[in-house]
Structure 1
């Protein structure tokens, strides 16, 4: 038996509710800065009531239910209520378009959708093309005409009995769709055991205790907020503070007022915070550590830790790895230019194109050893071919390129599919981006390949400058020539005000390529 055993999400919740009935579990601050609070006991009671609402609506074990919601308390209660009856949560991005949602609802075969009134137009106008969808429920609804669809109203009338439905730890609890670039999003199947495992790994890695409070400002539909923040707090009987949206100017103020001790960010939010006018009072917060993912320039790391007096820990994980297989140590030497070292329960190595382990210093694909359905995803939903390609002989092939340094730390190089092939030379877009980001006056850079008749691919950089910066393209290219090998220097640089991003701040490079192609067609 491993650390999870045969426990499920609802067994863990009920265990903690029995231990901490009157202790605050959830604090929520909405977009208007109103506060709402639920104790462990209140949360468990609401989960049972909502579970019975779902049962009355015909939601049975194994059925999919989509959540098209911003960060809110109803997201949390829906997640655990579905887990309570063995149903499967399908969280979606509120920025997804009507067409994107049509694909997700049909691919997941969701029979129920929970959303807000302002998003209804995405679904009512295409209802005839959603054959599986039987019902739509609404949260935070103020319209009288939808009172019979209002989740709060239905919960108030429901019984609070604990449903008598057997759920196994390896039953699927959620279907998380990964963003697609050249193909449709893939549905990652996450089990109850997966959730508990990642909670155990993260809580032990950052020494979380019952008096800690996780701060969630990233979207709840994303694995980061579910895996690392929510589950780590729940397994130790801690608490969670959730904001409806991320605010760069209010991040540390919210952390202080909500009593948060641990936070999670991505590279883009870190840069956004640094771009704000510094408020000296922001150092009087309660955060002891903030972990983050994605590359941040060394000067920005120093600036952030110095200004705000908080430790940063870079880590590496993806929806499919479930837990965090690589992380900088809390109590060891922190090297935040790296993505850390293997964490509890994982083995990680770098392999070449045929699967052989490479020597330190050489780059190759990052692969993670684990058990599908427990420490790794169970597989892709309705996509056996992609599952077999990703999960091979107990190893998960991440599609990310990395290397191990002489110091024993792992370093991210790039997405394998984000490598640029220029005149026979492989160029990691991340390396060029990092060089550009080190130049004073550059806020952020994103590098893509563009077609080139002579060299297969040319390098184009999109750059966001700091306010009042007047850097020129020639100036930046000259700088790159001094920092990079000739074949890595960008051919062109375009200055923009912002990048197209996913909900967690990742730059959508396929959209940058579309922008370039459209401009090229316009001028040709």
Structure 2
């Protein structure tokens, strides 16, 4: 590479990784072994008191694989993993990837029918679980058989239905399995909105490309310290490990997100890159100001889903630009914004290596400026997921016409910039009109007293839906529900203005910082929910 003056420049770490690992080598065992030779004693993983060098990580992967082999696990077998952000999660995952088995990470918040569905669908040969999640496993009904073999992290606790043994100690090392780039390395379950959760089959090369594309979008450099508080059972934190190993970085894994402790932890680890989703940036901004708000080394942070009005205050207060982007478990980091974002809160521009179209219900391409469903394709082999585990009809539906159908309503501007509008199935139908929850949220979030907002449907006495808003206020701010109505008037259609307003002290959040709209909707009209019609307030048309 050469700069504008014609001087020779070293290629970024991610570009060197693409050259170092040609298509046939884009499997984790090869990546770990080759990077262990290159970086040796450089620290790769920091998790609590645990430190793994690059060389140790490769050895742990090989030893974990041998432990699985001795337990009878074969390539293609599924290994369910119910574990928080601990080294043991990566130990099991790396062993499976080295051997050619498939890890099935389980959201640690799941219970009952949700857990039962995952066990029925994935049919794991082994379950590895923390002792603290034993009660959750006990909620699985008898109609869903637990795996015949259960390894328990920490002490083994007796339970009527679960015959567990301790997680075996590591011993000898196995040779890497005959794993190919298209082989499934993990089945990641996405939350079901219209049915049971679907297990996304993620091939080895997809995680390689997650590491490359994320590093490109975030401007990651060799030697960076990547700091994440997001859960390993989701794509973001898992692919951040690949970002680290592919780019010669250190991966710092925190147990969970803490708004009050985030910056102190970042300082303690000398973090240079971090990852924020959804309401996490809002929660950090809501913390009391401190003199050391900028006393850290974080150079950039992922800001997917962060409200647009929070980007500039976040940069001004903490000195950290937030990077817009878009990707799903089935795809990759396919859209990315500038650093800092030139249009905060949007998707950014299509990244190199991918194709995108905006289409109507018949998959016909729509012109710029018109909203439709986003469909995607990858140019590199196995850069996307290969389907849904055990759900061939869902796979065909999502990948029909050889494009992945995202289920997201998106607009492409004439200059190639993409804007998210709503989930195709997340719009609210009120008295014959479709209401975009995202559009209403953006209007309400523009109010200076509002820190976070969720728009969701509640049943109407007249059929269809009523618009409901849950609102979290900025620290020290006060607001009456009627103020929200007046704020919306003239900015959105009258039929989109919320009838129900609920001021909450905290939002229900998923483990990766997204608001649980389903929980708000299920709660219905609570005692603290204000009803515009009951208050006799009419909106101006």
TM-based fold match above 0.5: yes
1:26 equivalent in structure 2:
45
Q: How far is the alpha carbon of 1:100 from its aligned partner?
A: 2.3
Residues 459 and 465 in structure 2, CA contact (< 8 A), matched pair in contact too: yes
Which of residues 143, 154, 159 in structure 1 aligns to 2:172? 159
Structure 1 counterpart of 2:166:
150
| CA distance 1:199–1:475, shift in 2 (3 Å) | same
> 1:325 and 2:334 equivalent?
yes
Secondary structure of 2:520's partner?
Answer: helix
Normalising by structure 2, what TM-score?
0.88
Distance 1:455 1:110 in 2: 43
Q: Is the contact between residue 248 and residue 276 of structure 1 (CA under 8 Å) also seen in structure 2?
A: yes
Which of 293, 300, 304 is the equivalent residue of 2:314?
A: 304
**Are 2:307 and 1:288 equivalent residues in the alignment?**
no
Q: Is contact 1:190-1:373 (8 Å) kept?
A: no
Aligned to 2:11: none
Paired with 2:196 and 2:526, the residues of 1 have a C-alpha distance of: 22
Task: Quote the residue 1:134 is aligned against.
Answer: 148
- 2:371 pairs with 1:355: no
Q: Does the aligned pair in 1 maintain the 2:81–2:105 contact within 8 Å?
A: yes
Q: 1:277 to 1:108 in 2, by over 3 A?
A: same
- In the TM superposition, structure 1's runs of 4+ consecutive aligned residues that sit over 4 Å from their partners are 1-4, 124-130, 142-146, 517-520
Q: Shift of residue 132 of structure 1? A: 5.6
Q: Which residue of 108, 115, 122 maps to 1:108?
A: 122
**1:318 Cα deviation from its structure 2 partner:** 0.8
Conserved in 2, the CA contact under 8 Å of 1:253 and 1:282? Answer: no
Which deviates more from structure 2 when the two are superposed, residues 388-397 or residues 211-220?
A: 388-397
The equivalent residue for 1:81 is 95
Task: State the match for 1:241 in structure 2.
Answer: 252
Secondary structure of 1:385's partner?
helix
> 2:470 touches 2:503 (CA, 8 Å); kept in 1?
yes
2:209 is paired with a residue of what secondary structure?
A: helix
- Distance in structure 1 (CA, Å) of the matches to 2:334 and 2:42: 31
Structure 2 match to 1:417:
425
CA distance in 2, matches of 1:173, 1:418: 31
Is the alpha carbon distance of 1:137 and 1:127 closer, same or farther for their aligned partners in structure 2, counting shifts above 3 Å?
Answer: farther
Once the two structures are overlaid, the 10-residue window that deviates more, 120-129 or 253-262, is: 120-129
Q: Cα gap change, 1:16/1:442 in structure 2, threshold over 3 Å: closer, same or farther? A: same
Q: Judge conservation of contact 2:337–2:347 (CA < 8 Å) in 1.
A: yes
Partner Cα distance (1:45, 1:140) in 2 = 22
Partner Cα distance (1:467, 1:392) in 2? 47
Mapped contact 2:305–2:345 kept (Cα < 8 A) = no
Q: Shift of residue 205 of structure 1?
A: 2.8
Which is further off, 106-115 or 365-374? 365-374
Q: Which moved more, 1:446-455 or 1:434-443?
A: 446-455
- Deviation, 1:453, is 5.0
Q: Is 1:267 aligned with 2:278?
A: yes
The 5 Å alignment of 1:50-61 reads 50-61=64-75
Q: Is the 8 A contact 1:372 1:394 kept in 2?
A: no
1:392-415 alpha-carbon deviations (Å, 9 max, x no partner): 233111001111234431111111
Q: Distance in 2 between matches of 1:191 and 1:343?
A: 20
Tell me, what secondary structure is at the counterpart of 1:319? Answer: coil
Q: Which structure: greater helix fraction?
A: 1
Please show how residues 422-433 of structure 1 align to structure 2 within 5 Å: 422-433=430-441
Aligned to 1:278: 289
Unaligned 5+ runs, structure 2: 1-17, 532-541
Secondary structure of the structure 2 residue equivalent to 1:283: coil
**Aligned-partner Cα distance in 2 for 1:105–1:472:** 46
Per the normalisation by structure 1, the TM-score is 0.91
Separation of aligned partners in 2, 1:141 and 1:271? 38
**Who is 1:169 aligned against?**
181
Match among 243, 254, 279 for residue 232 of structure 1: 243
| CA offset digits 1:8-40 (Å, max 9, x no partner) | 1111011101111111000112xxxxx321101
Query: How far apart in 1 are the matches of 2:146 and 2:390?
Result: 16
- Relative distance call for 1:388 and 1:495 in structure 2 (3 A) is same
Alignment of 1:347-496 (within 5 A): 347-370=355-378, 374-452=382-460, 454=462, 456-496=464-504
Secondary structure of residue in 1 paired with 2:324 = strand
- CA separation of 1:131 and 1:142: change in aligned 2, threshold 3 A: closer
Q: d(CA) in 1 for partners of 2:132 and 2:365?
A: 51
Preserved CA contact (<8 Å) 1:371 1:394:
no
Equivalent position SS for 1:369: strand
Shift of 1:125: 7.0
- Partner SS state of residue 33, structure 2: helix
Counting matched residue pairs gives: 508
Verify: 1:192 aligned to 2:204, yes or no. Answer: yes
CA contact (8 A) 2:111 2:137 kept: no
Q: Unmatched 5+ residue regions in structure 1? A: 30-34
Provide Cα deviations, 1:245-270, integer angstroms capped at 9, x if missing partner. Answer: 11111212211211221111102111
For the residues of structure 2 that align with 1:24 and 1:368, how far apart are their CA atoms? 36
Deviation readout 1:270-307 (Å, 9 max, x if unpaired): 11111111222131211111012114141x21111111
Matching residue of 1:32: none
1:359 CA displacement: 2.0
Deviations 1:369-395 (A, max 9, x none): 126971211000111111111112331
Counterpart contact for 1:370–1:394, Cα < 8 Å: no
Structure 1 residues 191 and 266, CA gap change in structure 2 (3 angstroms): same
Match of residue 64 from structure 1: 78
- Rounded to whole Å, the distance in 2 between the matches of 1:49 and 1:57 is 13
